[in-house]
Amino acid sequence: MPQIIPIKDLKNTAEISEMCHLTAEPIFITKNGYGDMVLMSMETYENYYNREKIYQELEVSEQQIQEGKVQDAKNSLKALKNRYGL
């Protein structure tokens, strides 16, 4: 379940840092009752970032499939083996 805290609680930096690392999820910061910012640990950020990169690559791959930019796997592997003398 997402953590939601008011912006005034940011003064407790050690507590917020611990919360970020323990939950491994983003912490949503509100200002005047509305969403304002999101905080997360570096590890959580890197996980989100890497996942987003994978999703982007999958989208590119799906687009290439739809455009017919595909090759037979056996032929591709054979070409690579010939190219590198394997």
pLDDT tens-digit readout, 43-54: 999 999 999 999
Residue span of the structural domain in which 12 resides: 3-84
Count how many domains the chain has.
Answer: 1
Mean pLDDT, residues 62-84: 92
Contact 48, 35 (CB under 8 A): no
- Report the CATH number at residue 13: 3.40.1620.10
pLDDT-derived band at 86 (thresholds 50, 70, 90) equals confident
Contact 8, 27 (CB under 8 A): no
pTM above 0.75, yes or no: no
Contact 3, 28 (CB under 8 A): yes
Quote the mean pLDDT of the chain.
93
